Structure 1
Amino acid sequence: MQFIPYLSFQGECRPAFTTYAEIFDGTLELMPFSDMPPGDGMPSLPPEQAGWIMHGSVTLPDGGLLMGADMPPQFGGERMAGASVAISLPSPAEVNRVFDALKVDAQTIAMEVGPTFFSPAFGMLTDRFGTSWMIMTEPQ
């Protein structure tokens, strides 16, 4: 069994997951609400939300998976809060590469990449899409 993070957005899922697929060299799949067949019991969305993503995924080369969607507020959806995506990478150089890519227009940088007692390279930030990240490498 494995846990799979499922991220919540409000209109930012498409650019966020496109960015994550590029950074992590993953395979992107997006299913917009506009592709939903009529009469499936779901209320229709206003035109400004028609392109929102009902389900998105990035499958990583090693089989890892990140999923998410735009959560319309009229259905009770909210943007992410209170959770972080933690990722362990093979080297400090890779930690720095990923951190630098995610910190472009970041909302907050809680901790720049640096050594800690548990990792030779660890950093925390909230990216421009509102996703909180904890990026590290295992001790060598």
Structure 2
Amino acid sequence: MKKYVILFTFFFCAGFAVAQSSVEQEIKQLSMDKWQWMADKDIAKLTPLFHPEAKFVHMSGTWTTERELEIIETGSIWYKKADVHDTAIEILGNTAIVWNRITLTAHVRGNDVATEFTVTEVYQKEETDWKMLALTFSSVRDTHEIEK
């Protein structure tokens, strides 16, 4: 009997780890897709991803989903390329938090600039879809590491 309890525990834990890993992979892919959609100015894909009440924190201010989509669509900030150097993800129930250490190349006020950031993304599962609740850019040194 003891052997069966140990086997059950092992397979239960292994199954949970795989499921957790699967959700983390789904969120990581969604985060990577989001960077590409921002670079492509693909409002059609970003609109359903961004929760209507989401907040976006940048170096120059904090604004709403509506304003973020307008900024992306008009190109007043063009997120040309996000080179992701490191990612950490935590899943807490139906909430996912993603930390990406990136070098962002953006076109701002007529100039291309490359800036090191740690970006914090918060997602919440609503029925079958993940919705972004928050996106925060934190300026960091290029030696910054995400502690896992």
Task: Please classify the TM superposition score into its range, dividing by the shorter chain length.
Answer: under 0.3
Quick one: higher RCO (CA 8 Å, sep 6+), 1 or 2? 1
Q: Which has the larger radius of gyration?
A: 2
Determine which structure has the larger strand proportion and give its number: 2
Determine which structure has the larger helix proportion and give its number: 2
